[in-house]
Amino acid sequence: MAQVESEIKESSTNESEALIATLPTREGWSTPLTLYNKCWLRSHMLRRFMLVRDNFKPRRDDIILATHPKSGTTWLKALAFTISTRSRCDFTDSPLLTNNPQRVVPFIGAMGGDLDFLETLPSPRLLATHLPPSLLPPAISTVGCRVVYLCREPKDAFVSRWHFDNKMSKGAPITLDDAFSMFCEGFSPFGPFWDHYLQYWKESLARPQEVMFLKYEEIVSDPLTVVKKLASFLDVPFTEEEEKSGVVDQVVSFCSFESLRNLDVNKTGGAERAGGKIFIQHSSLFRKGKVGDWVNHMSKEMGEKMDRLVEEKFRGSGLEF
């Protein structure tokens, strides 16, 4: 890992190094965050993200799964991968049976998705990112890549974030109150969350053929409809024959929380750094998978405060939760 970091540093320009030195950095979550272009990013990932913006070469037929963290990235990766590879791999020999979805669909520039590696992948590539449009290369929209964006009701996304960061934290536990203040202030990984949601929302209104906007809750409430819409958007619509023979239902059940969580790879495996040390347990990506779990952690007052904030930030945009 140290070697990778030093290579990244070497390829980063003096100009970006000088800029990084001036950026505000703040502690509070499991790792420090740095404010870059109005977005709080994990400080140790910043150089990678700058390299993505400057060096990632999108291809016209790339499909990019963009998510606000803790909104169901793992789920969307599993669904999009299963839908788009169904003509060549069966449910019984799917790579998802032995790999976590996060590994099967690489993040652009992070966690196994180094830019050189992405160049070697055949088209059409299925890629992922947590970055907002403002931090992605503008070529993604000018060449016309399709983007599927997934976000989640903010109170549930917050509770999921708090649990995850507490698991990752090597220091003292992060209290719910502290995490709540930071999240509502806009200080959270890839936050402020409202800017992230709104940037993709506006893109989806401006370019609906290229940007599909989804909410976690709509997949939970009507997975069959969303999976069919997603397949059409990915240009691999289900045939009538497939629909009649229950393939859509099979995709939904294969990618469900229970089915993925119960696979050995997701019960015991983890994302490894060079040297084999696990830094994210796959099981931590499958906590509860419920809509409305916030009530089990946040007070009524906290819920009302977050709702007012969301109402205020999204007012007039047409986006609602």
CB of 227 to ligand PPS, least distance (A): 12
Q: Which is nearer to ligand PPS, 12 or 227 (CB)?
A: 227
CB of 315 to ligand PPS, least distance (A): 26
CB of 6 to ligand PPS, least distance (A): 26
Q: How many C-beta atoms surround the C-beta of residue 19 within 10 A?
A: 14
The encoded tokens of residue 308 equal 């007012």
Per this entry, what is the length of the chain? 321
Residue at token pair 């992948």? 121
Segments of 24-175 assigned E as strands: 25-26, 33-36, 39-42, 63-67, 126-129, 146-151
Name residues whose C-beta falls within 8 Å of residue 167's C-beta, 6 or more positions apart in sequence: 281, 284
CB of 67 to ligand PPS, least distance (A): 5
CB of 72 to ligand PPS, least distance (A): 5
Residue at token pair 């997949």? 219
- Residue from 44, 68, 130, 163 carrying the catalytic annotation: 130
Q: Which is nearer to ligand PPS, 59 or 297 (CB)?
A: 297
End-to-end CA distance of the chain: 40
Q: Which is nearer to ligand PPS, 71 or 94 (CB)?
A: 71
Q: Which is nearer to ligand PPS, 104 or 260 (CB)?
A: 260
CA-only gyration radius of the chain, Å:
19
Closest listed residue to residue 165, CA positions, set 299, 75, 31: 31
How far apart CA 319 and CA 309 sit, in angstroms, is 13
Helix (H) / strand (E) element for 212: namely: strand 211-215
Q: Which is nearer to ligand PPS, 65 or 234 (CB)?
A: 65
> Vertex 257, ends 155 and 97: CA angle to 5°?
140
Helices (H) and strands (E) in the chain, counts: 17, 9
CB of 41 to ligand PPS, least distance (A): 14
> Vertex 90, ends 84 and 96: CA angle to 5°?
70
Distances (CA, A) of 97 to 81, 94, 163, 187, 268: 12, 6, 26, 36, 13
Q: Let me know if 130 is a catalytic residue.
A: yes
Residues near ligand PPS (CB under 6 A): 67, 69-75, 156, 160, 163, 255-257, 260, 285-289, 293
The encoded tokens of residue 230 equal 């997603």
CB of 111 to ligand PPS, least distance (A): 9
Q: Which is nearer to ligand PPS, 138 or 173 (CB)?
A: 173
Q: Which is nearer to ligand PPS, 12 or 194 (CB)?
A: 194
* Residues labelled as active-site residues: 130
